[in-house]
Amino acid sequence: MREFRVNLGVDKFHFVKLFEQLSKSYQTGVALVGNCISLDNDTAKGKIEFFSLTADISLLRLNVLFSEDVDIRRIAIHKPAFYSCLFSLKESIDLHAFNNVEEQEMNRIGLAAKHSALFFSSDVQTLFRVIPNEVSKAVIVIFSKKALGGLLDKSNKEGFKLFNGDTVKGYAAMTSSMIDEVNKVFDYNWAEDVQKLFFLASVYKLLASLIQQVHVESDKLQEDTGILEASRMIQIRNVLVSDLSGNCPSIDDMAHKVHMSLTKFKVLFKRMFKLSYYQYYQHYRLHAAKENLVTGKSATETAYEFGFANLAHFSYTFKKKFKISPTEI
């Protein structure tokens, strides 16, 4: 297990410190050119990039394939001087947040974090556990409370309480709009001046969507669950939609993973995500199939790729959902 102990910050100082740790650990195949750390050795290939968007907002863009177990442990500082939000597009990063080392095992969920967001203040320790041989693709937004202070109404305690100088930590399920914005961030080219505006626009959209999603999820969970069960259910949701190519994962197995009775699991899942467990899976599978058709793949290819029994079953289910047949896309 290779471990790096790093910190985050709005300025470039901590990014350079990360490079120094990577360089010392790997010894070869690590280079820092401008704001980009490139990795090209036997156990790590890819890039980690730093973007300073404003005096109060920075962004890290990570796209690396590790061929070994890697822990990236973020060092906490005493005051919540800034906040970080990690948006993961791949299941290869397992996310954990804990106030101290003793809490680490309590917070361990043991589930992958595809399409997850983790938010935390600088006084909360975090662990990013990278699963080997899968591309780790994530965006980390780092910002001070000043970054949002002029945009949110401080008199509205509900709207401003998340990043207003207090200690926070939590998970949230990424919405489709958040996933779209993260994908856009990976498409932007910093060398083009106008792209810097798109970077900043995407960051604001991500933070706005995250704040809204946290409120939506926390309102439902406050009735009878805490952050640990909340995070477990959110990651169950992420596991559910991480592979849409076959049968829906067993609901009994999922309930067992989060140590809940089947009845409680069903009630909590529907309360959080508005649909039943299977309906939620089917909803995402059909939308993914629709995106597949838009790219030019045939209905037959798409039906096979997303695990439908046959083309007729796919066509019937698709038309019931979207009111048009797959061949009309």
Whether the pTM exceeds 0.85: the reply is no
For residue 201, the model assigns a pLDDT of: 93
Tell me whether strands 70-74 and 57-66 are parallel, antiparallel or unpaired.
unpaired
Domain positions in the chain are: 2-223, 243-328
β-bridge mates for residue 139, sequence order: 61, 87
CB–CB of 248/259 below 8 Å? no
For residue 247, the model assigns a pLDDT of: 83
For residue 115, the model assigns a pLDDT of: 61
For residue 30, the model assigns a pLDDT of: 96
Q: Divide the 329 residues of the chain into consecutive groups of 10 and give the mean pLDDT of each group.
A: 84 92 94 96 95 94 90 79 84 50 37 64 79 84 86 56 78 79 89 83 92 70 52 76 82 87 89 86 89 89 90 93 90
For residue 62, the model assigns a pLDDT of: 92
Alpha helices in 145-261 (DSSP H): 146-149, 157-160, 176-187, 193-221, 227-240, 251-257
Tell me whether strands 57-66 and 44-52 are parallel, antiparallel or unpaired.
antiparallel
Q: For the structural domain made of 2-223, what CATH number should be given?
A: 2.60.120.10
The answer to whether the 2-223 and 243-328 domains have the same CATH topology is no
Of the CATH numbers 3.90.420.10, 3.40.50.300, 2.70.160.11, 1.10.10.60, which one belongs to the domain with range 243-328? 1.10.10.60
Residues 6 or more apart whose CB falls under 8 angstroms from that of 75 comprise 5, 6, 7, 125
CB–CB of 18/6 below 8 Å? yes
CB–CB of 48/61 below 8 Å? yes
